Structure 1
Amino acid sequence: MEWLQVMVQSTIVMTFIGCVFSYFILRPLNVSIQKLDKSVEKLGERSQMMDLRLVKVEESTKSAHHRIDHLEESITERR
């Protein structure tokens, strides 16, 4: 019977320690992980937007070079 009391008391203490650990350690970690996940998601969205902008700039640059080359050819032909 005495071992049963020790087991019950041990279980109560372990449960209390588990709850304290969960509340003061795991809960803040979970909140931090969720915030970090949102930040990473926003960073991914920004990266995609930057990729799209970079593609547009490259296309615009190619077009500008084409126009410049055409103008240079026109000027050379007139000389």
Structure 2
Amino acid sequence: FLLPFLMTFMIIIHIIFLHKNSSNNPLGSNKFMDKIPFHPYFSSKDLLSLMVVLVMMLMIISIFPNMLMDPDNFSPANPMMTPIHIQP
């Protein structure tokens, strides 16, 4: 019960100590010129990736709508026979 609260407290303490003296990286470059800003580079890259995934999903749904369905859905219905996996 107390473990999540303890972990949250430790994470907050860790972040406070990390940003107290400013964080650094293993390469040792602290210059602002060496950093790449998040926007527009990474946000446009993420947006492009999202659009590619959505277009692929739309193509699968539009062109092959039955590709992800269960094969039992394609067998014709027989009212005189119960499927084997249904037991009374």
Specify the TM-score bucket, using the shorter chain as the normaliser.
0.3 to 0.5
More helix by share: 1
TM-score (normalizing by structure 2)? 0.36
Greater relative contact order (CA < 8 Å, ≥ 6 in sequence):
2
Q: TM-score, normalised by structure 1?
A: 0.39
